[in-house]
Structure 1
Amino acid sequence: MTATFTQSVRPAGRRPGAVAALGAAVRDTVTLALLPLPLLVAAVPAAFAGGGTRRWGRGGRGEGQRADAQAAKDAAAAAFYELDTAQRDLRISIETITAVDPSPAARKAAADFEAFGRRVDEVSHTYISAVDAHDLDRDDLDAGTAARARADLAKAKDELVRVKADLERFGQSLGPLLETAETQLARVAPAVERARQGLLAASDALDAVRASGLKADDLAARLAALAPELTKLNQGAGQHGVQETIQRAERVLREAGAIGGEAAALPQKAADIDKRLVSLRTRAQAITTRAAGVEPVLSELRRRYSAACWQDLQQVPDEATRAVAQAEQKLREARQARDEQRWPDALAGLTTVRALLNSTDEAVSAAGERLRRLDEVSFDHAKEVERTRFAIRDAQRLAMAGRSTPDPRHARPLDDAVARLDRAVANLEGRHPDWWHFLTETEAVRRTAADVVQKIRGELGAGQ
């Protein structure tokens, strides 16, 4: 359209015939000027009379028709230029929308714009044809031809104006889509810049860690893996799309932030591992010392209580020795992993050591706790019985609250608990009562009572 427009508004050059006519007119004028005054007066009417030797097209009504046609041509050219500009501007808006928005509404807008493009081509063709069909610079342009040219050019101009108005209304309807697209586009540059800054910060954090003597090879590998993503960010949204570019920038920023955070925390992590290594080694030594005291406790249990009260503790000293030895081996492995800066392996080893020492500590403590509890209950078992009966009565009161008879679901386990407690007390009769069995039975009865209480409260809370 631009090339045709340029041709349509080019200055009209004079033809050779027009130059010759102009020269003749000049010569006539000079000849008249040289005549004596009486002859000049006589010659003037003859020179300007319409004797058929001069065309009317250079003056009078014909010249006015030519001017009107030229004005129509200029107006059409201006309308053509304005339509071309409006189409170009709207194409930018459509490309902005389709680059960002894959929705059906955006696809429809693009299709509608293509339809407008076909209308623009049609009216542009009409305009160009009208321009090419009429040469307004002809010497022999008659009034009828000029009038037809003016009419054709005016009609072409009106069509151009009408299509431009429709195109502008269509552009106005794209306001919400364009605003959303521009908002998304405005996010691209800041998002990419944040990603770059995040990568730079992660790189600086790694440099600082390495300066402190830590390798952080795994973090460096993760940072290097982001290089292809940075390349795509630098290539821009034009190649990879707005949404994909923004999402890539956000992913890079998150990963870079994680790398930087882990790098910054690495010195403290190393210090914590060193501290835990020392602490767990000290604890292993303490458990070893305590495990040596289990055997005298077992001897006391054997001397004063029946086999059922201590038989399950027989293997505690040997098991403690093996567990501590295993913990010490894991500690050495964890120390080596820390020295090689294999942080996950070091942490996993410390977790294993802690679990081993916890179970061993419980087993070693169990022997002394067993002796203490057996001594206490054998001296006065009434306290244990009263404590257990109180738990049962408390559950029974709750089961009867607001009822004349308890719910069988609550009464049955409580009745069984009472019977179980009575049997446990009865089994104490004899020369060598099983005090440990008595304690385990009373604990079981109290758990039953607590379960009933919890069930009743849950039903009350649920409104049953």
Structure 2
Amino acid sequence: MTSAWFGGGTSRGSGADLDAARSAIDGAAQALLDLDTRQGYVDDALRTAREFADPMSTDDLQRQWRTITEKCFAASAAYLDATAKFPLVDSMGRDNRVLDVGAARRAFLDAHRAMADASTAVDSFYRAHRERIDAAARAAAAVPSQIAAARRAANKVVEQAGEVGSANPALLDLRTVTGSLDALTAALATLEAATHPRAQQTAALAVTEAAERLSAALDDAPRLAERARSAVPSVRTRLQALDTRLERLPVAQSALWREFNQASSADLAQHHHRAEHLLTEARSTLTDAERAIGDGDPESAHDAIDAARRLAHQVDGLIDDVTHRLERLRAIRDDPGQAEAKVRFSIRDAQRLVVDRGLAGEWGSVLDAQTARVDRAVAALQGVHPDYWALVRELDAVHDFVRDVVERVRQSARQGGAGPGGR
């Protein structure tokens, strides 16, 4: 009679039966809490990883994690559905005597298993990507200390600026100091405005670097004037040496005009005039540097000294153009065969290379054409004053071209082949 009354053998909510259901519910509830803890940790870690890395570099993690979170959601939903479907108490707060205890127990055990499986999936994901996830977590954990260190560095350098200003207020007006101070102020403002950990980390680094630059500028400030004074004599000596070289330049230019075809040095005709002009400008600039030192403006003095050095370098180049041209023309006039032989050897060497690499069909005619160029250049040496400079330029051009061919052949061998294209 009792079995028929309770549904043909279906277990209903007696006290002992409810205890069994409660045990299943408690186990499922604990599994839910455990799953939520694990999932929450990885969720937070992945969010941090995305903030501390290029989002594209974490897309693969995010895709894998979405699949697992869907599994977690389904398991949690199974628990919540079981809770709604199988309440242990009725609306009056009394034991639910009509509860299908067997079905309830099975539902909660199934939910428990689903959540355990989801927890296992979370653990497996974490173990597979632990290095990347934990690295991001460590980076995030380090941000507060990085911010604190940046602020300490800023405070320290501000104190340093105060000490320098007390000793010599004019030093704080130097461009290197004011520029570095402005950069530090801007970096601090950016740090204060930053809210995301990655932005805070970047801003803290910028503050630290700006503080280091300002500290270096403050350290250097008292020595700027002395360095400028020390540099002036060496620059003056260099300008005097250039003046001596320039005095001899007309002799070299005269030899070019006298010994060689006019076309061999036409591009150098104004070099003496240009060098004189630049040397005069360099002397004037050095005078400006000395004046700036006397006015207590070491930065302007350094700017002028640097400008004088650049001008001196240009004068050097102009003089070298003439003297080196004369030396090279005399060398090829005295032994034109030597330069010719060097270029022909490079052509033959390249020809052997393309044959060895099985690329003669692609490059053979190209290299043969270079031999013809050399033949024509040598044959053009005619008259009382042959154009040796034309020969030099053509031999240089062939040599450079052949060198490029050799490099391309070697490159094609490494990459699987590339022909001469438009050569």
Give TM-score scaled by structure 2 length: 0.55
Q: Residue 390 of structure 1 is aligned with which of 341, 345, 350?
A: 345
Q: Which one of the candidate residues 377, 386, 390 is aligned to 1:424?
A: 377
Partners of 2:187 and 2:210 within 8 A in 1: no
- Contact 2:292–2:300 at 8 Å: present in 1 too? yes
Shift of 1:292: 0.9
Partner of 1:290: 245
Equivalent positions of 1:119-198 (< 5 A) are: 191-192=147-148, 195-196=151-152, 198=154
Secondary structure in structure 1 of the residue aligned to 2:360: coil
Aligned partner (choices 406, 413, 420) of residue 453 of structure 1 = 406
Q: Please tell me whether residue 204 in structure 1 is matched to residue 160 in structure 2.
A: yes
Q: Does 1:301 align with 2:301?
A: no
Give the unaligned 5+ runs of structure 2.
Answer: 1-43, 51-135, 418-423
Deviation at 1:386, TM superposition (A): 0.8
Equivalent residue runs for 1:50-129 within 5 Å: none
Residues 1:379 and 2:334 aligned together: yes
1:216 and 2:140 are equivalent in the alignment: no
For residues 225 and 435 of structure 1, the distance between their equivalents in structure 2, rounded to whole angstroms, comes to 58
Could you say which residue in structure 2 is the equivalent of 1:367? 322
State the partner residue of 2:4: none
Q: CA separation in 2, counterparts of 1:300 and 1:413?
A: 39
Distance 2:201 2:334 in 1: 76
Distance 1:418 1:224 in 2: 63
Q: 1:272: Cα distance to partner? A: 4.2
Deviations 1:161-198 (A, max 9, x none): xxxxxxxxxxxxxxxxxxx99x9899758844762454
Q: What per-residue deviation string (whole Å, max 9, x for no partner) do you get for residues 204-244 of structure 1?
A: 256247637861314258648978998999xxx9x998979
| Residue pairs, 1:319-358, within 5 angstroms | 319-338=274-293, 345-358=300-313
CA distance change for structure 1 residues 242 and 443 in 2, over 3 Å: closer, same or farther? closer
2 CA distance for matches of 1:339 and 1:346? 9
Residue 171 of structure 2 aligns to a residue whose secondary structure is coil
- Residue aligned with 2:160, SS: helix
Asked if the contact 1:184–1:242 (Cα under 8 Å) also holds between the matched residues in 2, the reply is no
Identity score, percent: 27
Say whether residues 1:277 and 2:209 are aligned partners.
Answer: no
CA distance in 2, matches of 1:318, 1:295: 10
CA distance in 2, matches of 1:296, 1:361: 16
- Secondary structure at the aligned position of 1:431 is classed as coil
1:275-302 residue CA offsets vs partner (Å, 9 max, x unmatched): 4433332222211110110111222222
Shift of the alpha carbon at 1:356? 2.2
Cα distance 1:221–1:376, how it changes in 2: closer, same or farther (>3 A)? closer
CA contact (8 A) 1:302 1:310 kept: yes
- Give the 3 Å change call, closer, same or farther, for CA 184–433 of structure 1 in structure 2: closer
User: Aligned equivalents of 2:168 and 2:334: distance in 1?
Assistant: 63
User: In structure 2, do the counterparts of structure 1 residues 463 and 335 end up closer, same or farther at CA, with 3 Å as the change threshold?
Assistant: farther
Q: Which residue of 1 aligns with 2:5?
A: none
What is the alpha-carbon distance in structure 1 between the residues aligned to residue 162 and residue 225 of structure 2? 15
Offset from partner CA, 1:128-178 (integer Å, 9 cap, x none): xxxxxxxxxxxxxxxxxxxxxxxxxxxxxxxxxxxxxxxxxxxxxxxxxxx
Q: What is the letter of the counterpart of residue 336 of structure 2?
A: H
3-state SS in 2 of match to 1:215: helix
Q: Give the secondary-structure state (helix, strand or coil) at the position aligned to 1:292.
A: helix
CA contact (8 A) 1:215 1:341 kept: no
Specify the code of the residue in structure 1 equivalent to 2:327.
Answer: R
- CA deviations on 1:290-349 (whole Å, 9 max, x unpaired) are 011011122222222221223322222211110101122222334444555656644444
Q: Residue 439 of structure 1 aligns with which residue?
A: 392
Which residue number corresponds to residue 311 of structure 1?
266
Q: Distance in 2 between the 1:227 and 1:377 partners?
A: 63
Count of residue pairs the alignment pairs up: 281
Query: Which consecutive residues of structure 1, in runs of 5 or more, have no partner in the other structure?
Result: 1-96, 104-179
